[in-house]
Amino acid sequence: MTKAADLRQKDVAGVEAEIKDLQKAHFGLRMQKATQQLTNVRSLRITRRDIARAKTILAEKQAAK
């Protein structure tokens, strides 16, 4: 789980990299779910919310420029 305080300490490039990593992880979880290999379905929701949190902080940082 990504904390908002950790994301706010990163620069714009760091937050963008975090979003990219989270999206890759979410894709992998979706593929596991599709092939019925995913045991913890809750991790999909957590990852999706982490992506949204990171995108929100990225928008805040870009608006502050």
On the question of pLDDT at 54 being above 80, the answer is: yes
Mean pLDDT of 52-65: 94
Domain count, the chain: 1
Q: What is the pLDDT of residues 2-53, one digit of tens each?
A: 688 999 999 999 999 999 999 999 999 999 999 999 999 999 999 999 999 9
Domain range enclosing 52: 4-64
Q: What is the CATH number of the domain that holds 15?
A: 1.10.287
Task: Note the pLDDT of residue 6.
Answer: 92
Q: With beta carbons less than 8 A apart as the criterion, state whether 2 and 50 touch.
A: yes
CB 33 within 8 A of CB 44: yes
Name 50's Cβ contacts closer than 8 Å, sequence gap at least 6.
1, 2, 22
